[in-house]
Each structure stands twice: as C-alpha cells, then as structure tokens.
Structure 1
Amino acid sequence: MGCKETSIFYWFFPQGYGRSLWLMHGFYKSNGGCGYVKKPDFLLTVGPNNEVFNPKASLPVKKTLKVSQSLILAVGIAGVPADTMMKKTKIIEDNWTPVWNEEFIFHLTVPELALLRIEVHEYDMSEKDDFAGQTCLPVSELRPGIRAVPLFNRKGIQFNSVKLLMRFEFV
C-alpha cells in the first residue's frame, strides 16, 4: 500500500496518551495511513498582498457535515478555532439496547483540516463516566452513507470486534 502524495505535512501535538494522540492518529489516517499528508493548496500559496492562511480568521462555511449515530455519547470536530466543538447525546439509563437516534450538524469553514472526534462513555449514576472507546477521522476522508466506524482504546489500539454504525451526509 503506497502513499498518494510525497509532501509532508507535520502537525505537532503534545506526546503521551489521550486526546492529543487520538487527534494525531486521526489526522494521519488520511492517505492510507502511510504517515504523509499533503498540505491543502491554501496552505502552500500566498495571497496577492503576501497574506497567508489565518486559522483564526472569520471564514464562510464551505461544507456542512451531518452525523447520525445510534450508540455514541460525544461527537465533535477538532480543527481551526471556528470549527472546533464537542456535542453530547442525551443519557439513557438502565437500557441494555440504548438507541439515541440523534443527529449533529457541523458547519465547517476549513473542512480540509477538520477531524471528526468520537468518544464513547458508559454513564453510571453511582460513579463517574467510564471511558469505552474513541476514534478520530479526517473529514476529508469521510464518504456519505452508512459506515461501520472502528473504535480504539486510550492508547490508540483498535478494538477487534467493536464498531459504531454511523451515517454521514454532506448537506
């Protein structure tokens, strides 16, 4: 399995386990997971007045992602500040087959740099929420339709038989 591009796009995150490592793993799932991700063209060019891309600038929405799921407690976007957010599903107690049927809509200004972040937690009234799994996916690699999304543990190791059934739409 070869790389699609040879340009290197280094995205630096703090080292160690946790959300920072999850984001880094998610970002590099692009391009077949080979470790090389080409910079988007807007990061390689300079404007007519020598301006460069400003991730904090107020930009128009380029793409809207609608995410539907049945077994998720937290879903969000990591990217430029205008796109970064996290939303949670409602809590369902004492149900062996919980179904949320909730949709989340994310208006993305820079979808080329956005990651879909998913965390699953078990809610227990007597104790704190228990982490059950996570995944991060580059929005640029998502395809419309119903998909089986793998889950990973805190260290980024994929669970063998655990997947989330999700539907992605770009509206």
Structure 2
Amino acid sequence: MYNAIVILHQGHGRPFWLMQGMFRANGGCGYVKKPELLLKTDANNEVHDPKRLLSVKTTLKVKVYMGKGWHLDFKRTHFDAYSPPDFYVKIGIAGVAADSTVKKTKAIEDNWIPIWNDEFEFPLTVPELALLRVEVHEYDMSEIDDFGGQTCIPVSELRTGIRAVPIYNEKGEKYPSVKLLMRFEFVI
C-alpha cells in the first residue's frame, strides 16, 4: 500500500489550484503523507468509505476582513475602464462530499481595498482531507466576472488567528502585493 498522495496535472484552473494547495502541506516539498484515515482499516478490514456519513469532527470559522495590494499589481484599468473594481470572495471547502461547499461575500463596489467583514462556518467531517479554497472575483454586471486571484490551503495547515493570506494568479504564481486579511478559528 502506498502512503503518499501523488497528483499529476496538465493546464491551469481549479484542479491545478487544488493540487497546489494540497502540496503546500509538508513545506511544499512535493510529498504529502496520507492521513491516518486512509491508512487504517476498520473492523471489516476496509479503509475509509467516502460515501459513509460521518459526524462533524470540527467546525472551521473563517472571517474575511479585507483585501489589499491589487492597485500595486494591476493597471488602473485592468478590471474596469472607468471605475475601481467591485471585488467579492468565493470561499469554500474542497474535500469529501459531505464537507464540500462554496459560499460568497457581498461585492464591495468601486474599491481597490475592499472591506467585507463576512464570516462563514464550515462543519467538517474529514478535516484531514479538506482544502480551504479562496477565489477573488471582480463583479461585472454586463459580462463574465473578472478573476482577481486565488489560493488553496490544506485545512490541516491553518492556524488559529488573524493571518495575511497571499493570493495567486490563474497560473499559480504568487502576486507580489495582493493579500487577504482573514481570521481562522476551529470550534469543536
């Protein structure tokens, strides 16, 4: 039995971001040990069944305070030709089906430094397989919303408290200045 998770990728997009997020664990070395949940067997000598309903182990509370740095990393007209951007954040969990969900902040109109102060709760049944997925978009009434940045972080790597979270572009490259100020808390 193998005890490492290995993922190959082609192209960019959400699957690539999830893979990058998974490998941020273990110092970004490219090797992540499987969680005990996937190594242990139950009384029937079977490993974890992803379809089996499990009880909630912990609840992750996330507060998205604000974002800053876009005006330093983007041209003034990158998002809108005549006004500052209208940013919002999509935040969710990628993991087992019972944990997977996406929520969204309100859009903050015409502001390069948006302040959301929105809080979300994510009950987690298998936190050791969960990734916190964060995407920032610029709301566009007439067209498709513009991409502002993203990050994926293994829930196991999150630490309680207020953090400045770096944001990455669609190719997974870290923006020099863009960050989100967020608070993480685990409730049992």
Q: With the length of structure 2 as denominator, give the TM-score of the two structures.
A: 0.82
Match of residue 151 from structure 2: 135
1:24 aligns with 2:19: yes
**Distance in 1 separating the partners of 2:178 and 2:111:** 19
Distance change (3 Å), C-alpha of 1:99 and 1:146 = same
Long gaps (5+) in structure 1: 1-6
Distance change (3 Å), C-alpha of 1:126 and 1:31 = same
**Distance in 2 separating the partners of 1:117 and 1:13:** 19
Match of residue 100 from structure 1: 116
Question: CA shift at 1:98, angstroms?
Answer: 2.9
Which has a greater percent of strand? Answer: 2
Distance change (3 Å), C-alpha of 1:169 and 1:90 = same
Note the aligned Cα RMSD (angstroms).
1.6
Q: With the length of structure 1 as denominator, give the TM-score of the two structures.
A: 0.90
Aligned length: 165
1:164 to 180, 183, 187: 180
Match of residue 10 from structure 1: 5
Contact 2:61–2:121 (8 Å) recurs in 1:
yes
RCO comparison, higher one (Cα < 8 Å, 6+): 2
Long gaps (5+) in structure 2: 67-87
**Distance in 2 separating the partners of 1:54 and 1:124:** 41
2:40 to 41, 45, 53: 45
**Distance in 1 separating the partners of 2:111 and 2:148:** 16
